[in-house]
């Protein structure tokens, strides 16, 4: 019988393969539709402080969304994970994407604590959480590091946990373990899925 870790590994690869099979212009259109859905989403409109991640690889890009938030006066916070020290992640408020993020090969996209002010987890109204694959029950499959599964419980219960995903990242069922965390809402280019 296939072990759960093997299943997760296969799903991660399948999600990446599906996204890589989509032509770049079509992927750009899908990203734009996901952004439109998010910008019209009531919880997003009402949120004053939004938790983000800096997207990488085939994920839905968050850069334009963060810029739009800043222009509309919303507060943006990003996590800083210090795995070497074994510390809990810290949140930092970002005011300028060009100046407030580190640029080194190992630190690209991380908040620079010398430039950014610390932020409280309790201040977060909405959290945009990364993931590789999802299901309609809110199941989330991350990169495998467990960082966000440890971070999500630190967010207030009132903060909606939202995933932005291409339909190619949606699967019938994500194998979930006790430590895995569910999303409240998943926004794709075609639909908004509510788990709450």
CATH code: domain of residue 58 = 3.40.50.10420
Tens digits of residue pLDDT in 44-57: 999 999 999 988 87
Mean confidence (pLDDT) of the chain: 92
Distance of alpha carbon 99 from alpha carbon 2, whole angstroms: 46
Reported pTM: 0.92
Return the pLDDT at 132.
94
Tens digits of residue pLDDT in 18-68: 999 999 999 999 999 999 999 999 999 999 999 999 888 778 999 999 999
Distance of alpha carbon 188 from alpha carbon 194, whole angstroms: 12
Q: Are 163 and 140 in contact (CB under 8 A)?
A: yes
Q: How many domains does the chain have?
A: 1
Domain ranges, residue 132? 4-194
Please list the ranges in the chain whose pLDDT falls under 70: 1-2, 83-86, 105-106, 196
Distance of alpha carbon 144 from alpha carbon 167, whole angstroms: 21
Owner of token pair 């419980």 = 153
C-alpha distances (whole Å) from 147 to each of 29, 150, 192 are: 30, 5, 25
Distance of alpha carbon 126 from alpha carbon 190, whole angstroms: 21
Distance of alpha carbon 30 from alpha carbon 190, whole angstroms: 9
Return the pLDDT at 84.
65
C-alpha distances (whole Å) from 110 to each of 45, 94, 101 are: 25, 10, 5
């Amino acid at each position: 019988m296939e072990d759960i870790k093997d299943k997760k590994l296969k799903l991660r690869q399948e999600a990446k393969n599906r996204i890589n099979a989509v032509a770049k212009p079509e992927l750009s259109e899908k990203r734009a539709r996901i952004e439109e859905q998010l910008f019209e989403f009531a919880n997003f409109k009402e949120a004053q402080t939004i938790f983000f991640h800096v997207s990488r690889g085939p994920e839905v890009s968050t850069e334009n969304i963060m810029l739009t938030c800043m222009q509309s006066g919303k507060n943006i916070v990003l996590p800083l994970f210090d795995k070497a020290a074994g510390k809990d992640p810290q949140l930092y408020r970002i005011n300028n994407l060009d100046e407030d993020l580190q640029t080194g090969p190992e630190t690209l996209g991380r908040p620079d604590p010398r430039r950014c002010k610390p932020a409280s987890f309790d201040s977060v109204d909405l959290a945009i959480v990364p993931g590789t694959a999802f299901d309609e029950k809110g199941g989330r499959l991350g990169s495998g590091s467990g960082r966000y599964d440890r971070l999500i419980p630190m967010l207030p219960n009132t903060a909606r946990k939202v995933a932005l995903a291409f339909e190619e990242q949606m699967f019938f069922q994500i194998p979930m373990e006790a430590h895995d965390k569910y999303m409240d809402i998943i926004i794709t280019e075609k639909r908004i899925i509510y788990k709450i």
